[in-house]
Structure 1
Amino acid sequence: MNIDKQDQPRQPLLPNTAASRLGILGGGQLGRMFAHAAQAMGYQVAVLEPEAACPAAQVAEHHVQLAYDDEQGLALLSRLAPRVTTEFENVPADSLKLLATGGFVAPAAACVSIAQDRLAEKHFFTRCGLHTGVYPAPHWGIASEEDLKSVNDDLLPGILKTTRMGYDGKGQVRVRNREELHTAYALMQGHCVLEKMLPLAYEVSVLVARGVDGEAVVYPIAENVHRDGILFTTLAPSPNVSPEVARQAQKAALDIIAELGYVGVLCIEFFVLTDGSIVVNEMAPRPHNSGHYTMDACDTSQFEQQVRALAQLPLGSVRQHSAAAMLNILGDVWFDGERQREPAWDRILAIPGAHLHLYGKAEARRARKMGHVTFVASSMELARANLRSACVILGIATPESA
């Protein structure tokens, strides 16, 4: 079931010409880093984003300050840029469809639509599992009281999630029994999906990219630690994954991206269970927080890879030349109790192998993603030690898993 158009010969949009412009829906930090990568390669960037001082607009050559579904804004973006992508999955799929009538859009609206709906995503993963052998967790869609009554006891305890607009731990709650399930569903309302809780050992991300001609590459496995539903650290390559699990996850990711007929960078999260088996959790149709390590530790960053796919250039090497430990920087580190202060970036940058990336957000707020630091080293042991040193400087509690 290839939902996108069939693979086509590349039609490269070469850099450093009058037409060398790439467009992006969304003005957040992923758009900012995409713009940096595009500009380094000789492209101009146009951003459609309603917020005035967004991170991407600070660096892009063109900022269309209108809503994602504004037809005039979409028409202007299409005129400015013949190739358009998105930096987050919750843009209206109809906007991507409209842009595709006048130019090349990657990823396609049909691919983004699947990732926007957790239940549709799980149905898609289940179909893929027939030939990948990797399935999502047991689950049940709930859109009515009748669906609620039909929940199988085997799905409890579980996690109830809204089918749409959930991210960074939002839109989900753990439920241990039917009483908690009924209470949670009454609060959430609308369409939800209940997932069975499984014995999780750790989570990994597989970053994969595919060109319009079907060429595909897959990055080394990255291992993630979350805190309060938000990514805390990423270690790459994963220190715990076995060669067999790595092979299985990477093959499943390549099969999934081919089944989608997807063009661009796709991140797929997998759960590794305590018995060594894996289940597929979710996908993000864009570069991903857990792939930031590629900016400093790989031949080709995830953002350069997205530029290459969108411009229909050959994909870059995914070779990882250094071990990497990435620390997500939230707005909390700007606060000492109730007092706000600037973090000691000079001390962070004195740590060997530290690469600081701040996103240009004017206001630091607790739980807001403000930047990241990647520590590259000759070994994972050294990269992790340097990450722990940074946590001490920034006042961040460090779990053993980091």
Structure 2
Amino acid sequence: MIPPGETIGILGGGQLGRMLAKAAAQLGYRVHVYAPEADSVAAEVCARFTNAHWDDAAAMAEFAADCAVVTYEFENVPVGPLKALGSVPLHPNARALEVAQDRLNEKEFVEQLGGRTAPYMAVDTREDLDAALTRLGSPGILKTRREGYDGKGQWRINADHEADGIAFSGQPLIYEGLVRFSAEFSVILARGHDGRIAFWDSAENVHKGGILALSTAPASDAVLAQVEEARALAAKVADGLDYVGVAAFEFFATSDGPVFNEMAPRVHNSGHWTIEGAVTSQFENHIRAICGLPLGDTRLAATKVEMRNIIGEAAEDWAAILADPANHLHLYGKGAARPGRKMGHVTRLTF
């Protein structure tokens, strides 16, 4: 166990790191953020901040020397430079990063465990895409295998001829056949050092433009009927990776059962509702897990919980939002708003 008073290192300086740092402080830990961006909203609430590139081995080693354990707030941290952490524990481990960073590896790993995914094919050339369209048909989605989130790095192909204008830059891609679904939902779990797994209620998610707009718990009956099977797969993945910390798994609810979409080896936007809407939030349980503390109660703290993202340039009346006692406002302290940028979220509790 890592006792309170020690320092937790967080790789990445965004809003997830900010919320992790606040949860860590509540439990008596100090936090040291490492990020290549100077304008870190996580660093604003932390004891220390290292602003350095990922491949700066000296800076990474100095950062590690200050930390009792290291975690990360997004899955695109490059794995190679993490060798500079030396003997300092990294949770979740580098294997989880390696699997989640590549959509092809991720789908193959899940299929090996018996999971159901969208039909897919690796695509490196135009000839590969033609073969994928012949085999899987259209509509479908062409995605970068690495990086890309909130709809970035994705191209929807509604008919075969729409592929004609796509330029190939040599970046590995994956083509996924379209999944017919009735709803989207998340399975979010926390797994401790002892292998114990705790699940939160699965939120039903609504996306707009590839970005999560709304999460609601409890989910609809169509989702609830598939949660048990989805949880079983998520637990297999977590056990297979010897995972420690919080992980999120996104699923489609279909007539054939839950179809795995993707995983995030970290706390997740669709779990932000847990800050007020669960007995123990995803952020606190992540800190508990990586420090070897017992996991907290994940039950709902209200009859119904809704989390709405505040995205882009939409004008908001903060006073009106706060005037309703059912609302809980979280602003991330970011600078100028721009289309697609997550500026905060509002959680609404119903009792």
State whether TM-score is above 0.5: yes
Question: 1:58 corresponds to which residue?
Answer: 44
- AA aligned opposite 2:34: L
Q: Give the structure-1-normalised TM-score.
A: 0.84
1:154 positional shift: 4.3
Counterpart check, 1:348 vs 2:321: yes
Secondary structure, in 3 states, of the residue corresponding to 1:47? strand
Match of 2:128 among 143, 147, 150: 147
Question: 2:270 corresponds to which residue?
Answer: 290
Secondary structure, in 3 states, of the residue corresponding to 1:69? coil
Question: 1:35 corresponds to which residue?
Answer: 21
Match of 2:159 among 150, 170, 177: 177
1:225 positional shift: 0.4
Distance of aligned partners of 1:280 and 1:107 in 2 relative to their CA distance in 1, 3 Å threshold: same
Counterpart check, 1:113 vs 2:94: no
Question: 1:135 corresponds to which residue?
Answer: 116
Dislocated runs of 4+, deviation >3 Å: 240-244
Secondary structure, in 3 states, of the residue corresponding to 1:286? coil
Deviation track 1:254-275 (CA, whole Å, cap 9, x = no partner) reads 12111111111100000112x2
Q: Distance in 1 between matches of 2:89 and 2:177?
A: 39
Q: Give the structure-2-normalised TM-score.
A: 0.95
- AA aligned opposite 1:164: R
Secondary structure, in 3 states, of the residue corresponding to 1:64? strand
The answer on whether the counterparts of 1:94 and 1:109 sit within 8 Å (CA) in structure 2 is no
- AA aligned opposite 1:302: Q
The answer on whether the counterparts of 2:186 and 2:270 sit within 8 Å (CA) in structure 1 is yes
Q: Distance in 2 between matches of 1:39 and 1:52?
A: 22
Match of 1:207 among 161, 172, 188: 188
Secondary structure, in 3 states, of the residue corresponding to 1:200? coil
The answer on whether the counterparts of 2:276 and 2:301 sit within 8 Å (CA) in structure 1 is no
- AA aligned opposite 1:53: D
Q: Distance in 1 between matches of 2:148 and 2:221?
A: 28
Match of 1:14 among 3, 25, 31: 3
Secondary structure, in 3 states, of the residue corresponding to 1:306? helix
1:205 positional shift: 0.5
- AA aligned opposite 2:347: T
Counterpart check, 1:167 vs 2:149: yes
The 5 A counterparts of 1:89-104 are 89-99=75-85, 101-104=86-89
Deviation track 1:280-319 (CA, whole Å, cap 9, x = no partner) reads 0000110000000000111111110110111111111111
1:241 positional shift: 3.4
Question: 2:337 corresponds to which residue?
Answer: 364
- AA aligned opposite 1:287: V
1:175 positional shift: 1.2
Deviation track 1:342-380 (CA, whole Å, cap 9, x = no partner) reads x311110112310001101122222211100000112xx
Secondary structure, in 3 states, of the residue corresponding to 1:317? coil
Between the aligned residues of both structures, percent identity stands at: 43
Question: 2:226 corresponds to which residue?
Answer: 245
- AA aligned opposite 1:169: G
Q: Distance in 1 between matches of 2:164 and 2:124?
A: 12
1:152 positional shift: 5.5
Q: Distance in 1 between matches of 2:312 and 2:152?
A: 18
Q: Distance in 1 between matches of 2:300 and 2:129?
A: 47
- AA aligned opposite 2:206: V
Q: Distance in 1 between matches of 2:213 and 2:80?
A: 33
Stretches of structure 1 that go unaligned for 5 or more consecutive residues are 1-11, 335-342, 379-402
Secondary structure, in 3 states, of the residue corresponding to 1:105? coil
The answer on whether the counterparts of 1:48 and 1:73 sit within 8 Å (CA) in structure 2 is no
Stretches of structure 2 that go unaligned for 5 or more consecutive residues are none
The answer on whether the counterparts of 2:129 and 2:175 sit within 8 Å (CA) in structure 1 is no
Q: Distance in 1 between matches of 2:226 and 2:88?
A: 39
RMSD: 1.5
Match of 2:288 among 305, 308, 320: 308
1:145 positional shift: 4.3
Q: Distance in 1 between matches of 2:113 and 2:31?
A: 35
Question: 1:222 corresponds to which residue?
Answer: 203
The answer on whether the counterparts of 1:264 and 1:306 sit within 8 Å (CA) in structure 2 is yes
Deviation track 1:94-135 (CA, whole Å, cap 9, x = no partner) reads 233432x22110111111111111111111111111xxxx31
Question: 1:47 corresponds to which residue?
Answer: 33
Q: Distance in 2 between matches of 1:245 and 1:117?
A: 26
Q: Structure 1 stretch 39-48 or stretch 87-96: which is displaced more? A: 87-96
Secondary structure, in 3 states, of the residue corresponding to 2:314? helix
The answer on whether the counterparts of 1:137 and 1:281 sit within 8 Å (CA) in structure 2 is yes
Q: Distance in 1 between matches of 2:126 and 2:307?
A: 43
Deviation track 1:169-216 (CA, whole Å, cap 9, x = no partner) reads 0111111333323433x2564211110112121110110111122111
